[in-house]
């Protein structure tokens, strides 16, 4: 048994790698800044969890104690200015801690960049340069490293797949930038995970980077056409427009897809340059499966099947939003952190607690927020226009939530099944905000509780609260009654199903 440490276990790749490592018989420890976000994972009881930030030497060293193979899956997709320095510092700290702890291998997943020689006008994007720099930190450290380089990853919920899916489904006719003609080599998430798991078995002493990709080289336009064919959509008309810059492209993608512009931009910038495999050396250590690598159409089919079955284990939004607050929820009205504004409401519900909880846990996404949809839409649109996440992140699962899930422009901070759902705001705000929804039994009655909490930052934060105060009655005031009616409908539907099931 190999003891593996997985960083980024709350993210898209890490959250899928952990169960695969367990399936392969490895002992797994997860390193996370917020360990509680792993609490509701089906595999949480089978792993150790260490609380640490990769930029902090002491906690990182402690997390690496006794580890054989360390998976470094920490990336900053949209961390704003200074992200390269933060990535560099974190990688160096992690490498030094791994050496001090006696780790025998580091495994890193980076990006596939153009080979040499590059065209004179070609210059990797800042994020791709940062990926290459982190790779070099690990290859140059005393601990042998396996650095995988991947291009577009095709899997349900991946950021690349979601961008491709929404662009293709929503735009039958597209005016597109030049990067849709750039060649790339997409790879299925299943093959990525297979390579990552097998990295633990590569002979000691191997210190090398490996290009990994699927069996086909495609342009982005080819992928859009291929997606349309697999999804049963009419053929898409693609008209390239050279004038669209990466910034304009990312804003356009932010309006059409669930991806905010600050997440779309590094993707767009990385697509400007050709990203195809220039070697397949990994086959010496991890042979291709007998049936071959998964091709693009099959990868799309598998991803769409997972989405249809609501069986998406992780999504691009699983990772924390850069710059999102991490302050604790204030529990005392006289909280020392400053002023608090609270809007609290209750409603007696003529339905059993189970029906009410089903409505609470199903809130957001396609079900909406049970009050003035146009107001929520406009708030989400305003958020996206200023670079926020907006409402389009939706839900990972249509019926179930777990701590850490993104839910439109909220994130699940706490959930007590049948009783409490607490959401932390990740929209752009001059302060911190939470929304608590509760279900309780009181004097034989089902009671719905709702509490919105706002901690303003500075004068603008106070002004923001009072400017929106007149709308609270319309938005938060209508929610309890609408939630209660939805719970009664759920009760009625359940009774109809029970009646139908009881018929001879």
pLDDT at 341: 87
What is the rounded distance in angstroms from the CA atom of residue 426 to the CA atom of residue 380? 11
pLDDT band at 504 (very low <50, low <70, confident <90, very high): very low
pLDDT tier, 133 (very low <50, low <70, confident <90, very high otherwise): very high
* pLDDT given at position 500: 38
pLDDT tier at 181, thresholds 50, 70, 90: confident
DSSP state at residue 102: T
Judged against a pLDDT cut of 80, whether residue 36 lies above it is answered with yes
**Cα–Cα distance between 149 and 273 in angstroms, integer?**
14
Segment 156-168, tens digit of pLDDT: 988 889 888 988 8
Q: What is the mean pLDDT of the chain?
A: 85
Report the alpha-carbon distance of residue 387 to residue 456 in Å, rounded.
20
Q: Would strands 183-184 and 218-219 be described as parallel, antiparallel, or unpaired?
A: antiparallel
Predicted pLDDT at 217? 95
Task: Report how far apart the first and last C-alpha atoms of the chain are (Å, whole number).
Answer: 55
Contacts of 406 (CB under 8 A, 6+ apart): 315, 317, 318, 321, 389, 393, 395, 396, 426
Q: Which among 474, 447, 471, 477 has a CA at the least distance from the CA of 360?
A: 447
- Judged against a pLDDT cut of 60, whether residue 332 lies above it is answered with no
List of residues 6+ apart from 182 with CB closer than 8 A: 219, 220, 271, 272, 273, 274, 275
Going through 201-263 in order, the beta strands assigned E by DSSP cover 208-211, 218-219, 237-240
The CATH homologous superfamily of the domain defined by 3-316? NAD(P)-binding Rossmann-like Domain (3.40.50.720)
pLDDT on residue 129: 84
> d(Cα 465, Cα 425) in Å, to the nearest integer?
14
Evaluated on CA atoms 165, 294, 124, 149, the torsion sign reads positive
Whether 430 shows a pLDDT value over 60: the answer reads yes
pLDDT digits 0-9 by tens, 202-251: 998 899 999 999 999 999 889 999 999 999 998 888 777 766 666 666 66
pTM of model > 0.85: no
- Sorting pLDDT into bands at 50, 70 and 90, what band is 51? very high
Q: Which fold has domain 341-500?
A: Alpha-D-Glucose-1,6-Bisphosphate; Chain A, domain 4 (3.30.530)
Choose among 30, 23, 27: nearest CA to 9. Answer: 30
Domain map of the chain by residue range?
Answer: 3-316, 341-500
Question: Would you call 360 exposed, middle or buried from its count of C-beta atoms within 10 A (0-12, 13-18, 19+)?
Answer: buried
On whether the CB atoms of residues 200 and 69 are closer than 8 A, the answer is yes
**Residue 338 — very low, low, confident or very high, per pLDDT cuts 50/70/90?**
low
Confidence category of residue 498, pLDDT binned at 50, 70, 90: very low
Predicted confidence (pLDDT) at residue 14 exceeds the cutoff of 90: yes
> What per-residue confidence (pLDDT) applies to 253?
73
pLDDT above 80 (res 493): no
pLDDT score of 80? 58
Q: What's the pLDDT score for residue 503?
A: 37
């Amino acid at each position: 048994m190999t003891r593996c440490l997985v960083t980024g276990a709350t993210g898209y790749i890490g959250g899928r790698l952990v169960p695969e490592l367990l399936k392969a018989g490895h002992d797994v420890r997860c390193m996370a800044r917020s360990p509680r976000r792993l609490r509701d994972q089906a595999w949480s009881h089978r792993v150790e969890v260490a609380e640490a930030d990769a930029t902090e030497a002491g906690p990182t060293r402690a997390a690496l104690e006794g580890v054989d193979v360390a998976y470094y899956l920490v990336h900053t997709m949209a961390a704003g200015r200074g992200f390269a320095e933060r990535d560099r510092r974190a990688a160096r700290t992690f490498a030094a801690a791994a050496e001090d702890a006696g780790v025998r291998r580091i495994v890193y997943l980076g990006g596939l960049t153009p080979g040499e020689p590059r065209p004179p006008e070609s210059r990797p994007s800042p994020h791709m340069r940062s990926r290459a720099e982190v790779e070099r930190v690990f290859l140059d450290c005393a601990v042998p490293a396996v650095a995988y380089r991947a291009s577009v990853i095709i899997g349900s919920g991946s950021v690349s797949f979601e961008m491709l899916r929404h662009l293709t489904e929503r735009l039958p006719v597209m005016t597109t930038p030049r990067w849709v003609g750039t060649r790339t080599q997409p790879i299925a998430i299943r093959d990525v995970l297979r390579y990552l798991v097998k990295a633990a078995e590569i002979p000691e002493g191997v210190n090398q980077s490996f290009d990994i990709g699927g069996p086909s080289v495609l342009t982005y336009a080819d992928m859009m056409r291929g997606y349309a064919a697999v999804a049963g959509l009419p053929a898409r008309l693609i008209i390239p427009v050279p004038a669209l810059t990466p910034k304009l492209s990312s804003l356009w993608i932010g309006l059409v897809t669930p991806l905010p512009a600050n997440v779309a931009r590094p993707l767009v910038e990385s697509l400007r340059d050709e990203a195809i495999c220039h070697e397949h050396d990994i086959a010496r250590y991890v042979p291709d499966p007998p049936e071959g690598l998964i091709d693009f159409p099959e990868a799309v089919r598998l991803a769409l099947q997972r989405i249809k079955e609501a069986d998406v284990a992780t999504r691009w939004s699983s990772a924390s939003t850069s710059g999102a607050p991490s302050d604790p929820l204030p529990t005392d009205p006289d909280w020392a952190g400053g002023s608090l504004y609270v809007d609290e409401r209750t409603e007696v519900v003529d339905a059993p607690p189970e029906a009410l909880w089903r409505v609470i846990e199903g809130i957001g996404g396609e079900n909406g927020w049970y009050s003035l949809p146009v107001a929520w839409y406009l708030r989400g649109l305003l958020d996206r226009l200023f670079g926020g996440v907006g409402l389009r992140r939706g839900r990972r699962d249509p019926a179930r939530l777990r701590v850490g899930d993104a839910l439109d422009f909220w994130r699940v901070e706490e959930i007590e099944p049948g009783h409490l759902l607490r959401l932390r705001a990740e929209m752009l705000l001059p302060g911190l905000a939470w929304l608590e929804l509760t279900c309780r039994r009181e004097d034989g009655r089902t009671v719905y509780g709702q509490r919105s909490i706002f901690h303003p930052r500075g004068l603008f934060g106070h002004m923001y609260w009072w400017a929106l105060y007149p709308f609270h009655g319309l938005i938060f005031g209508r929610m309890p009654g609408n939630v209660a009616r939805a719970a009664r409908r759920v009760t009625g539907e359940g009774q109809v199903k029970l009646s139908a099931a009881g018929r001879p």
